[in-house]
Amino acid sequence: MSVFTPVSSADAERLLARYSLGVLERLEGIAQGVENTNYFLTATTGEYVLTLFEHIPRADLPFYVGLMDHLAHQEITCPLPMRMDDGGMIAEVNGKPACIVTRLPGAPRGKPAPNDCRIAGEVLANIHIAGVEYDASLDNWRGRAWREHFAQSLAPKLSGAENELIAAENRYQAMHDDTVLPQGVIHGDYFHDNVLWDDEGNAGVIDFYFACDDALAYDIAIGVNDWCVTPEAQIDAARVHTFISGYESRRPLTDFERELWPVMLRRAALRTWLGRLGYNHFPRESHMTIPKDHEFSRRLLEHHIANARDLESTLA
């Protein structure tokens, strides 16, 4: 979340005229994140989030918005897209496609405790289970082809050691076939700052704009690489156990998922590192943005590589 395209109160009022959400009371830009323009929007009927899609292809937007609508009606606590008076969920603001969704209560927990990890694992499994009945699909645009091509784009910006590490990991990942793993709709960005906790300890999930079809274990690894690591960029085995325990209380892992677990952890760390290197070396002009720490992701990948034999035991 960021503000790349300014939205005035007059712009918001014109947009609201297409909905039955009442009159605009407040509009406030959101700095967190780096992909879309986001505003908190308060109307007389409640609190919402207005998102302007800066780079997502318009043809892909029905997948993301439809997924939130589907999950919200499957008892997943997530933003519910609002429908305009004509029934559509995707509008346009200042030349950008946009949508309005409900604003979830609560806030992220900066330092997830073990029980938070258990609940987070269970919630992720519930998303995977609910996604089985979603009748749309979308390939992961940050899959193997992107990892290898984007590494070439970054190469002139990086040190020799960084390029060597990325090239070696891409070769390693190319050796492993994840089509043997259960596939489905994944969140794709299941970091702790995308889970909001209300006053009663209930967890709600936001930011589904990296969702796609991919290996479910890869999604778990993305989550573990954020929820279950130390400030020194190392795996916290105790928190991994609780995260996986929560997940398996809803959906047990397969033997293949256990076998390829170290590969998925490394793939998730590489994806995150490449993405954050991109935000650092190819910054986008924004009125409000909070940068991400790409060095942490590099250290985490190095940790996974150095401790490959121990990673499987984190699932025990």
The domains of the chain are located at: 9-102, 114-315
pLDDT of residue 2: 60
Average pLDDT over every residue of 141-167? 97
pLDDT of residue 288: 45
Query: Residue 1: pLDDT band by 50, 70, 90 thresholds?
Result: very low
CA atoms of 178 and 181, how far apart (whole Å): 5
Which residue bears the tokens 């993305």? 222
pLDDT digits (tens, 9 = 90+) for 20-73: 999 999 999 997 656 899 999 999 999 999 999 999 999 999 999 999 999 999
pLDDT of residue 31: 79
pLDDT digits (tens, 9 = 90+) for 278-295: 989 988 765 544 556 789
pLDDT of residue 32: 65
pLDDT digits (tens, 9 = 90+) for 185-234: 999 999 999 999 999 999 999 999 999 999 999 999 999 999 999 999 99
pLDDT of residue 309: 74
Angle between the 114-131 and 61-72 helix axes, to the nearest 10 degrees? 110
pLDDT of residue 245: 97
Q: What is the second-level CATH architecture of the domain 114-315? A: Alpha-Beta Complex (3.90)
Percent of the chain with pLDDT over 90: 89
pLDDT of residue 37: 94
Q: What is the 3-state secondary structure (H, E, C) of the chain?
A: CEECCCCCHHHHHHHHCCCCCCCEEEEEECCCCCCCEEEEEEECCEEEEEEECCCCCHHHHHHHHHHHHHHHCCCCCCCCECCCCCCCCCEEECCEEEEEEECCCCECCCCCCHHHHHHHHHHHHHHHHHHCCCCCCCECCCCHHHHHHHHHHHHHHCCHHHHHHHHHHHHHHHCCCHHHCCEEEECCCCCHHHEEECCCCCEEECCCCCCEEEEHHHHHHHHHHHHCECCCCCECHHHHHHHHHHHHCCCCCCHHHHHCHHHHHHHHHHHHHHHHHHHHHCCCCCCECCCCCHHHHHHHHHHHHHCHHHHHHHHC
Percent of the chain with pLDDT over 70: 95
Task: Judge whether residue 84 has pLDDT over 50.
Answer: yes
Query: Residue 243: pLDDT band by 50, 70, 90 thresholds?
Result: very high
Average pLDDT over every residue of 65-86? 98
pTM given for the model: 0.94
Would you say 108 and 195 are in contact if contact means Cβ atoms under 8 Å apart?
yes
> Which CATH superfamily is 9-102 part of?
Phosphorylase Kinase; domain 1 (3.30.200.20)
pLDDT digits (tens, 9 = 90+) for 245-266: 999 999 999 999 999 999 999 9
pLDDT of residue 194: 97
Mean pLDDT, the chain, rounded, equals 94
pLDDT digits (tens, 9 = 90+) for 99-112: 999 999 999 999 99
pLDDT of residue 33: 53
